[in-house]
Structure 1
Amino acid sequence: MFDVMAMVFKGYRPRIAMQMANGDKELSRWLGSATYAKTSNGYWMAWHANATDRFLVLPPEGSDDKECHWIESWEGDYTVDMAFDYVESGRFDRDEPAVLNLFIEDPVTGEWR
């Protein structure tokens, strides 16, 4: 048996970037200098070579989930291979996306935002 790994593409992938950004201009700029890969199970991934603590993941075509999700390492210890393994192993499918909600108290009004 052999391992199937993601196929890494050099250069900008306009169609994939447009799907990933979904109209978000800031994300579109970020994607302009990203590296892209398509995993063996059909996911597209994008990341910056100098910052492998953050990967944007687009579900495969035909998936009910059309929204991209981030894989992030707060400790900054992810590698590209670890991210590929996480997505290709099926763990990404099983784990529910987590969102960190931060609320900040306005020092003037005392309101939480």
Structure 2
Amino acid sequence: MRRCFLLLAPLFLLSAGCDSSSNSDRGASSADGDGTTSELESERLALNWYMEMEHGGYVAAKVHGYFSDGGLDVTIEPGGPGAPQQVIQLLATGKLKFGIANADQIVTA
């Protein structure tokens, strides 16, 4: 189970690096190793339910700085009742770049 979480975080970072949007809307900043400051792109990750073990990889990536290493300032937004459908709708309309949903809900959407 832990190995699965460790695999999900790099995949999320990889997919985040494939974004074609402009870097002009970047938010928070962080210091690079050489002392220069680089901007972090603010992103939201919407969960399909309340925070629970299956989301541990995303939390670990935030806590250990993997998102910021990839140039992202990620806000993890917990879901709740109705969240899976709302997440899919937000993703489909482009109002959200990253979200968690079950495969069977995506296929029927």
TM-score by length of 2: 0.25
Structure 1-normalised TM-score? 0.24
Q: Which has the larger radius of gyration?
A: 1
